[in-house]
A and B are shown apart, each in its own frame.
Chain A
Amino acid sequence: MGRHTPLFKLHQELGARIVDFGGWDMPVQYSSQIGEHHAVRRAAGVFDVSHMCVVDLRGARVRALLQQLLANDVAKLKTPGKALYSCMLNERGGVIDDTIVYYLSDSWFRAVVNAGTRDKDLAWIRRHAPACGVEVTERTDLAMLAIQGPEGRAKAAQLLTAADAGAALALHTFVGREIGGWFVARTGYTGEDGFEIMMPAAEAVPAWRRLNSLGVASCGLGARDTLRLEAGMNLYGNDMDEGTQPFESGLGWTVAMEPHERAFIGREALAPIARGGSPRRLVGLVLTDRGVLRSHQRVVIPGGGEGEITSGTFSPTLERSIAFARVPADTGAAVQVDIRGKLLNARVVKPPFVRSGQSLIGSSKGPS
């Protein structure tokens, strides 16, 4: 038996199919994975993301710690509440994890890290924190709900008092703050607008039931995966890991090489790649033949060379298969993918595939 979030019994009661995810027993779907996906693209859905690890970092030199631990630069965070997406790298430039950090005050940052990497992340952070006098607290007392979709914010605001709802709806993109005893952030992992809300564990079940009664669909990790892939968002462990660096993982934009005197962990390993370019890159693929792209399938580059699919699925919005693939940097506009011994044709595109309900990949007839 795996670990359980405060919502586990409710998921069972709602008829969810439960699977292991990074050591946690989590709902993969309630009724139809495709139905849940469309609910988020067209209206609103709620996900239990309480398995993710919320870490509070407190201390006068917390900013210095994060400037060392993160490849992106928390100096970009100038107003309290603002969030930053970043990789945490090892000395070789490999990705230990990706995280979102919120700047709450000059002595308090909050990081959200992945469930499956919780133990190694905490060990890594705790190894470096004492030198900066930073106290590290895992917030196991909190549950986290993600309410996503074009109607997500308006529905979630109905969980709050009128004054608090106004404050929540006034949040800008990628900003979070304490509202009515909850931490409400306008962030997500679906390519739709919405909130991620951290709340005391005991309040999660009534909040979920209320959202259901407002017409917000219960959504599982299955839909979360197809939504994030359409939205062009990486999944740790699939699309990057300790053996790959950000520039070959579509995450070069998150590495702040300037200012050059900031000595973040992994910087020395990345410097030649940042200057000279990465030999491989992560691209989007759209399958033009019939079939389904899956991780680890072999990508065949016309004229020579190979790559590999890191995440692949059927896109419910585009009604065709899409993927991320790591390929040689000079790969052109078309490739083939080996699916059970057959070479099928795919177009190379720049993710995201879908944003705010709209397809971004153009015609399905070929390169435009």
Chain B
Amino acid sequence: MSTVPADLRYTKSHEWVRTLADGTVEVGITDHAQHALGDLVFVEVPEAGRTVKAGEPCAVVESVKAASDVYAPLAGEVTAGNPRLGEAPETVNTDAYGEGWLMRLRPAPGALTGAALMSAADYQKVLEAEGG
């Protein structure tokens, strides 16, 4: 059974979003997603300054088996990609909701309130419907 922290919000494509004190958001992939992918061996994160649209592929996580896109959960400007993941991609497996974050975004005006993000309870239902 995968972990779904109550204080985060989620997408159907298995990203999580954490609102930080300065108004930016941190984005990662869920415990369910890291488990389904298996051992990650390479992670490509976006560079600071890049503008992304909601639903745009903006990072790549690669397991031994395959490469998968990660989608921007909301529109905004990238303020940081997680620098640790270049050397230690497995951090996403071991700490998906913490040190394994992928990027930080400054939401475009209105993007955070307008984004189609789910509560932990609703994301849990998505996982149950997927059989996870």
Q: Answer whether residue A86 sits at the interface, using C-beta atoms and an 8 A cutoff.
A: no
Inter-chain contact count A-B, CB under 8 Å? Answer: 36
Evaluate contact between B62 and A314: CB separation under 8 angstroms: yes
Instruction: Return the CB mask of A14-33 against B: 1 if under 8 Å, else 0.
Output: 00000000000000110011
Evaluate contact between A222 and B65: CB separation under 8 angstroms: yes
Shortest distance between the CB of B104 and any CB in chain A (Å): 21
Shortest distance between the CB of A227 and any CB in chain B (Å): 11
Please give, as numbers and ranges, the residues of chain A lying within 8 Å of B66 by CB-CB distance: 294
Instruction: Return the CB mask of A209-234 against B: 1 if under 8 Å, else 0.
Output: 00000000000001000100000000
Q: Interface residues of B toward A: which range? A: 10 to 19
Please give, as numbers and ranges, the residues of chain B lying within 8 Å of A314 by CB-CB distance: 41-42, 62, 64
Q: Answer whether residue A290 sits at the interface, using C-beta atoms and an 8 A cutoff.
A: yes
Instruction: Return the CB mask of A225-253 against B: 1 if under 8 Å, else 0.
Output: 01000000000000000000000000000
Evaluate contact between A292 and B39: CB separation under 8 angstroms: no
- Cα of A313 to Cα of B38 in the assembled complex, Å: 14
Evaluate contact between B64 and A294: CB separation under 8 angstroms: no
Please give, as numbers and ranges, the residues of chain A lying within 8 Å of B41 by CB-CB distance: 34, 292, 314
Q: Answer whether residue B67 sits at the interface, using C-beta atoms and an 8 A cutoff.
A: yes
Evaluate contact between A28 and B65: CB separation under 8 angstroms: yes
Evaluate contact between A32 and B62: CB separation under 8 angstroms: no
Residue of B39, B42, B60, B86 ringed by the most chain A CB atoms within 10 A: B39
B64 in complex: contacting residue of A226, A290, A291, A340, CB < 8 Å: A226
Of chain B, the residue at the smallest CB distance from A19 is: B65
Residues facing A in B15-58 (CB within 8 A) are: 38-39, 41-42, 44
Residue of B41, B42, B63, B67 ringed by the most chain A CB atoms within 10 A: B41
A33 in complex: contacting residue of B39, B44, B60, B67, CB < 8 Å: B39
Of chain B, the residue at the smallest CB distance from A222 is: B65
Shortest distance between the CB of A339 and any CB in chain B (Å): 9
Please give, as numbers and ranges, the residues of chain B lying within 8 Å of A226 by CB-CB distance: 64
Instruction: Return the CB mask of A132-146 against B: 1 if under 8 Å, else 0.
Output: 000000000000000
Please give, as numbers and ranges, the residues of chain B lying within 8 Å of A29 by CB-CB distance: 38
Please give, as numbers and ranges, the residues of chain A lying within 8 Å of B65 by CB-CB distance: 28, 33, 222
Shortest distance between the CB of A15 and any CB in chain B (Å): 12
Evaluate contact between A222 and B62: CB separation under 8 angstroms: no
Shortest distance between the CB of B85 and any CB in chain A (Å): 11
Evaluate contact between B38 and A292: CB separation under 8 angstroms: no
Please give, as numbers and ranges, the residues of chain A lying within 8 Å of B62 by CB-CB distance: 291-292, 314
Evaluate contact between B60 and A313: CB separation under 8 angstroms: no
Known A33-B64, A34-B64, A313-B64; judge A290-B42 contact (CB<8 A). yes
Evaluate contact between B67 and A294: CB separation under 8 angstroms: yes
Of chain B, the residue at the smallest CB distance from A320 is: B41
Interface residues of B (CB under 8 A from A): 38-39, 41-42, 44, 60, 62-67, 86
19 interchain pairs, CB-CB under 8 A: A28-B65, A29-B38, A32-B38, A33-B38, A33-B64, A34-B39, A34-B41, A35-B39, A222-B65, A291-B44, A292-B41, A292-B62, A292-B67, A294-B67, A313-B64, A314-B41, A314-B42, A314-B62, A340-B60
Beyond contacts A222-B38, A294-B67: 5 other A-B pairs, Cβ-Cβ < 8 A, are A34-B39, A35-B39, A222-B64, A226-B64, A313-B64
